[in-house]
């Protein structure tokens, strides 16, 4: 996920993407808790992508004001 791609999206698309990533994060946490997580690096990648989206959303909100 590239930040420049995220900046080209509007707030609704970003919210949708954020919701999808949070669901994925939840599923990864459940897999980790039950010992079924095959790729532990995915947890960190999803967390970083969530942070990227939140950053872009905050930038867009600050730009409106």
pLDDT tens-digit series, residues 4-22? 999 999 999 999 999 999 9
Mean pLDDT value of segment 27-51: 96
Question: Given a cut of 90, is residue 65 above it in pLDDT?
Answer: no
CA 49 to chain centre: 4
Question: Given a cut of 80, is residue 55 above it in pLDDT?
Answer: yes
Cα 65 from Cα 55, distance rounded (Å): 16
Mean pLDDT value of segment 35-63: 95
**Model pTM score:** 0.91
Structural domains in the chain, CATH included, are: 3-64 (1.10.287.310)
What is the predicted pLDDT for the residue at 7? 93
Residue 56 structure tokens = 């872009």
């Amino acid at each position: 996920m590239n930040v420049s791609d995220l900046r080209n999206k509007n707030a609704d698309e970003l919210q949708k993407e954020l919701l999808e990533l949070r669901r994925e994060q939840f599923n990864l946490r459940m897999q980790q808790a039950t010992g079924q997580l095959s790729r532990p690096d995915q947890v960190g990648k999803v967390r970083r992508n969530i942070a990227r989206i939140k950053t872009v959303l905050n930038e867009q909100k600050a730009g409106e004001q």
